[in-house]
């Protein structure tokens, strides 16, 4: 029985597709197909040139037609606000090379999600750049809007292999200085780094005028710790190990991971950044809908 376009949103199906360009296309086509039957249909047309009104904005810029439709205050974006370069920042450190069961790794999920986002934005004639990093920037492609540039982005992503330690905070500081023109920064990472340092780097990016979107990518088991019996856990970046009984620590672990995520969510609100949590058991349309819902609340 042939697959429907929506079935290609499933990670277990998309991992069987060999070529990344086809993965990106299938994910986007499946997403757009489902979008027609969702509350977000028409979102991009109605809100792509508006942003949410904030105290201090000029009230004369309020679009009263949009207010009449939504009962919310939105202002028209200036031309300089609509033509932002977008950068996909992909964490390729060793901690991303993790999966349980027959799921795709966090790295593969991040690559597919980045490919789909790049595919969508370039087909909308947005300029997209790419940075792949661990403890250094391994690949950097300046933003371009030509479709031939998409080939370069997908080629770079396709040959990316996770390795080495993460230097997430230092990389974000480096890119804050390197990317001079105000842009849209889309970070795809498990964010498993020293949290206070990462948050400080997010403030640096925001201070430089960048708009921020964070995708925190987990393996499903990292959220629920489903293991049974004595288990030895190993840090893929340091090779440190610890033995534990998951049943004895599960409640405390889940509380800690939820607190870890909640801190990022709270701090992202402080810097007016979008924060989306996904895991590799989630279909790609759910990840993209979460992204769309976040943007809908901000613009």
Look up the CATH number of the domain holding residue 255.
3.40.50.410
Helices (H), the chain: 11-14, 20-35, 43-47, 64-70, 79-82, 106-123, 147-158, 168-178, 195-207, 220-224, 246-270, 284-298
67 and 133 both lie in a single domain: no
In the DSSP assignment, the letter for residue 234 is: E
46 and 96 both lie in a single domain: no
pTM above 0.85, yes or no: no
CA distance 36 to 38: 6
Q: What's the confidence (pLDDT) of residue 41?
A: 44
- For residue 169, is it within any domain? yes
- For residue 155, is it within any domain? yes
CA distance 31 to 288: 8
Coarse DSSP helix, strand, coil percentages of the chain, rounded to the nearest 5 percent: 50, 20, 30
Domain residue limits at 60: 42-83
Boundary residue ending a domain (66, 83, 100): 83
Q: What's the confidence (pLDDT) of residue 201?
A: 97
Give the total number of structural domains in the chain.
2
Q: What's the confidence (pLDDT) of residue 2?
A: 59
* Residue 30 confidence class, pLDDT cut points 50, 70, 90: confident
- For residue 130, is it within any domain? yes
- For residue 217, is it within any domain? yes
Q: What's the confidence (pLDDT) of residue 212?
A: 93
Average pLDDT over residues 207-222: 94
- For residue 187, is it within any domain? yes
Average the pLDDT over each of 22-26, 137-141, 149-153 and give the range with the smallest value: 22-26
């Amino acid at each position: 029985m042939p697959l429907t376009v929506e079935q290609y949103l499933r990670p277990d199906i998309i991992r069987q597709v060999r070529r990344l360009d086809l993965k990106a296309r299938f994910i986007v086509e499946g997403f757009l197909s489902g979008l027609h039957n969702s509350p977000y249909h028409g979102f991009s047309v109605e809100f792509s040139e508006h942003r949410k009104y904030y105290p201090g904005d000029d009230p004369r810029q309020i679009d009263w037609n949009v207010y009449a439709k939504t009962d919310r205050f939105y202002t028209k974006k200036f031309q300089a606000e609509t033509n932002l370069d977008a950068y996909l920042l992909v964490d390729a450190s060793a901690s991303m090379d993790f999966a349980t069961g027959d799921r795709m790794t966090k790295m593969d999920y991040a690559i597919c999600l980045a490919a789909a986002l790049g595919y969508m934005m370039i087909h909308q004639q947005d300029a997209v750049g790419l940075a792949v990093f661990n403890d250094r920037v391994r690949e950097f492609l300046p933003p371009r809007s030509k479709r031939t540039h998409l080939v370069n982005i997908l080629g770079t992503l396709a040959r990316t292999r996770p390795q080495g330690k993460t230097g997430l905070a230092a990389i974000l500081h480096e890119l804050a200085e390197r990317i001079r023109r105000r842009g849209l920064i889309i970070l795809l990472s498990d964010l498993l780094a020293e949290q206070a340092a990462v948050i400080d780097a997010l403030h640096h990016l925001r201070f430089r005028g960048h708009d921020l979107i964070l995708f925190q990518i987990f393996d499903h088991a990292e959220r629920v710790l489903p293991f049974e019996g004595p288990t030895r856990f190993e840090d893929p970046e340091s090779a440190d190990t610890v033995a534990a009984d998951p049943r004895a620590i599960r409640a405390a672990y889940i509380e800690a991971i939820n607190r870890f995520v909640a801190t990022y969510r709270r701090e992202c609100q402080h810097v007016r950044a979008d924060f989306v949590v996904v895991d590799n058991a989630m279909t790609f349309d759910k990840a993209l809908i979460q992204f769309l819902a976040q943007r809908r609340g901000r613009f």
